[in-house]
Amino acid sequence: MSELSVNHLLGIKYLTEEDINLIFETADHFKEVINRPIKKVPSLRDITIANLFFENSTRTRLSFELAEKRLSADVINFSAASSSVKKGETLIDTVNNILSMKVDMVVMRHPNPGAGVFLSKHVNASIINAGDGAHEHPTQALLDSYSIREKLGEIQGKKVVIVGDILHSRVALSNIFALKLQGAEVKVCGPKTLIPKYIEKLGVTVETDLTKALKWCDVANMLRVQNERMEISYFPSTREYTQQFGVNKRLLDSLDKEIVIMHPGPINRGVEITSDVADSKQAIILDQVQNGVAVRMAVIYLLASKIKQ
Ligand code: NCD
**Beta partners for 240?**
none
| Mean pLDDT value of segment 125-133 | 96
Q: At what angle do helices 285-307 and 17-34 cross, to 10 degrees?
A: 110
Which backbone phi and psi does 101 adopt, to 5 degrees?
A: -85, -5
- Decide if 87 is catalytic: yes
Q: Which helix (H) or strand (E) holds 76?
A: strand 74-79
Task: Please state, in angstroms and rounded to a whole number, the distance separating the CA atoms of residues 91 and 215.
Answer: 45
Q: Which helix (H) or strand (E) holds 142?
A: helix 138-152
Q: Strand, coil or helix: what is 211?
A: helix
Whether residue 222 contacts residue 241, with contact meaning beta carbons closer than 8 Å, is answered with no
Query: pLDDT tens for residues 189-245?
Result: 999 999 999 999 999 999 999 999 999 999 999 999 888 888 778 888 999 999 999
Domain 138-286 has CATH 3.40.50.1370: yes
Split at pLDDT 50, 70, 90, the class of 80 is confident
Q: Which residue type sits at 239?
A: R
Domain boundaries of the chain, sorted by first residue? 12-136+289-307, 138-286
63 has pLDDT over 70: yes
| % of the chain with per-residue pLDDT over 70 | 96
Q: What is the pLDDT of residue 83?
A: 43
| Pocket perturbation via mutation, ligand 1, pick of 171, 222, 295 by most ligand atoms within 8 A of CB | 171
- Decide if 59 is catalytic: yes
198 CB-near residues (< 8 Å, 6+ apart): none
Query: pLDDT tens for residues 145-181?
Result: 999 999 999 999 999 999 999 999 999 999 999 999 9
Fold classification of 12-136+289-307 (topology level):
Rossmann fold (3.40.50)
- Decide if 137 is catalytic: yes
Whether residue 197 contacts residue 159, with contact meaning beta carbons closer than 8 Å, is answered with no
Q: What is the pLDDT of residue 308?
A: 63
Same fold, 12-136+289-307 and 138-286: yes
Task: Please state, in angstroms and rounded to a whole number, the distance separating the CA atoms of residues 272 and 288.
Answer: 17
Nearest CA to ligand 1 atom 7: 60
| Pocket perturbation via mutation, ligand 1, pick of 60, 162, 194, 223 by most ligand atoms within 8 A of CB | 60
259 has pLDDT over 60: yes
Give the global pTM.
0.95
Task: Please state, in angstroms and rounded to a whole number, the distance separating the CA atoms of residues 236 and 194.
Answer: 12
> Which among 137, 168, 170, 263 is annotated as catalytic?
137
| Mean pLDDT value of segment 28-53 | 95
